[in-house]
Amino acid sequence: MAFSGNKYSGTFTPGQVTILQSTYDEVCRILGRCPTTDTNKEQLARAIISMFEQGNTDPKYMAGNIIQAEKYLTK
């Protein structure tokens, strides 16, 4: 899991980590990626954190934005 362990402890509250992990899981599910072995796991986690820090807290909204950005970047 991208947001498990103590890596984000102290930076985010447990509730915030739950939102971040939920978003990560949703994006992986939509993209058909393995949440534990995806090679872009850290890049995806950083994108989620960036949007979260801008005030976005809805996992489905963030997942949609990340998916749209990825489609644009892979064209």
Q: What is the pLDDT of residue 7?
A: 72
> Average of pLDDT values for 19-41?
88
Name the residue type at position 57. Answer: T
Band (59; pLDDT cuts 50, 70, 90): confident
Band (5; pLDDT cuts 50, 70, 90): low
Instruction: Tally Cβ neighbours within 10 Å of residue 46.
Output: 12
Q: What is the pTM of this model?
A: 0.80
Distance of alpha carbon 54 from alpha carbon 62, whole angstroms: 11
DSSP 13: -
Each domain of the chain, given as residue ranges in start order, spans 14-74
Does residue 23 or residue 74 have the better pLDDT? 23
Q: What is the pLDDT of residue 73?
A: 72
